[in-house]
Amino acid sequence: MSENILEIKHMTVTLYENGGEYKVVNRISFNVGKGEIVGIVGESGCGKSMTALALQDLLKNHIKVTEGSMMFDGKDLRTISPAERRQINGSDMSMIFQEPMTSLNPLQRIGTQVGEVLLLHGKHSREEIEARTLEALEMAGLPDPKRTMRMYPHELSGGMRQRAMIAMGIIARPKLLIADEPTTALDVTTQSHVLNILKRINEQTGTAILLISHDLGVINMICSRVLVMYAGKIVEQGRTEDILKAPVHPYTKGLIASIPTRRMKGASLASIQGRVPPVTEEKPPCPFASRCDRADKVCFTEYPGRKTISEDHILWCHHEL
Ligand SMILES: Nc1ncnc2c1ncn2[C@@H]1O[C@H](COP(=O)(O)OP(=O)(O)OP(=O)(O)O)[C@@H](O)[C@H]1O
Ligand SMILES: [Mg+2]
């Protein structure tokens, strides 16, 4: 049995638009160990959400996984039947999003929405669902679960709504929880509460977590490893500690230099000039070359091969150290 809950190899996600084909995610490979918390970091438009949506089979019709294998718990998500896939989504693998207000139904009580996840599976009695709903709300850090169950989304604060979303994400006891910018809309204090809750859930239930954020400071709070993404590619990956102490890729260095000044999703980086190119733009073999102060001819003509800095620390750049 593999020690990894998720093994992604050469995954490409292609966008079909106006007669063109564009790779929004370009041959990325990574693993998530059972019970591990892994981060994906990168600026706005780098393909983080596309990666998450591809894993959950939630891509829109004009966007498709076109290459690679996606092994989840020993099964290839690309080759299993739609019925098997539905079985996994929302139970063994679940996802929480950034905007709790748009993901929650304003007309339904919190308890009903959280419990509905189990109701859909059809395997649980009413009493069981109620008990599990209370347990999930409690684990997600809602102080008075019995009362919260009866409330409507608008009666909760932003932080409470995000906790309710977390409860929905964990009620089926997933093996992997994908959290796409779960704290970006929250103030800094609430953000760290929510991250602590995710960490505690990981420790108590052993669920692996894939945490997506544009902020390395957030990643650093709970992730043991991090993948740095730029324009659809992973450019560097390693243990969070190593990446923060000894980053090698010029893009990672730029992300780190901008940690204290940058809290806004979508804001440009203080320390790197320019912006992430749109997917429709032709990119050089090293996608970062046009913004990189170390770039020379080779970056525009050859694809940077994979380099191993240490066992866990991998880099895709022509200019090592
Ligand atoms: N529905 C869509 N149709 C066409 N292009 C899209 C669509 N959604 C996203 N894109 C493009 O795909 C690329 C990757 O987007 P993605 O949402 O994965 O970025 P992200 O890293 O999650 O960014 P953010 O930090 O803003 O959430 C971007 O260039 C984006 O403009
Ligand atoms: Mg996103």
Domain-located, residue 235 = yes
Burial pattern 212-250, b for ≥16 Cβ within 10 A else e, equals bbbbbbbbbbbbebbbbbbbbbbbbbbbbebbbeebbbb
Total structural domains within the chain: 1
Residue 154, burial from CB neighbour count under 10 angstroms (0-12, 13-18, 19+): exposed
The verdict on the CB of residue 232 being under 6 Å from ligand 1 is no
pLDDT band for 102, please (50, 70, 90 cuts): confident
Domain-located, residue 231 = yes
Which residue, by CA, sits nearest to atom 28 of ligand 1? 45
- Please tell me whether the overall predicted TM-score, pTM, comes out greater than 0.85 for this model: yes
| SS3 of residue 77 by DSSP | coil
**Is there a contact between 279 and 287 (Cβ–Cβ < 8 Å)?**
no
Domain-located, residue 134 = no
Q: How far apart are CA 32 and CA 180, in angstroms?
A: 16
The verdict on the CB of residue 24 being under 6 Å from ligand 1 is yes
Q: What is the CATH number of the domain that holds 234?
A: 3.40.50.300
The verdict on the CB of residue 297 being under 6 Å from ligand 1 is no
Low-confidence winner among 181-190, 238-247, 280-289 (lowest mean pLDDT): 181-190
Residue 78 has pLDDT above 80, yes or no: yes
The verdict on the CB of residue 41 being under 6 Å from ligand 1 is no
The verdict on the CB of residue 159 being under 6 Å from ligand 1 is no
Instruction: Return the best residue to mutate from 16, 28, 44 for the ligand 1 pocket (most ligand atoms within 8 A of CB).
Output: 44
| SS3 of residue 95 by DSSP | strand
Q: In what order do the strands lie in the sheet with 75-76?
A: 20-33, 4-17, 63-72, 75-76
CA of 240 to the centre of ligand 1 (A): 25
Domain-located, residue 206 = yes
List pLDDT tens digits, range 159-210.
899 999 999 999 999 999 999 999 888 888 889 999 999 999 999 999 999 9
Report the Cα 237 to chain-centroid distance in Å. 14
Name the residue with higher pLDDT: 100 or 234: 234
Strand partners, 213: 41
CA of 210 to the centre of ligand 2 (A): 13
Domain range holding 31? 4-92+174-315
The verdict on the CB of residue 278 being under 6 Å from ligand 1 is yes
Which H/E stretch holds residue 138? helix 126-139
**Is there a contact between 141 and 170 (Cβ–Cβ < 8 Å)?**
no
From the CA of 25, give the closest atom in ligand 1: 14
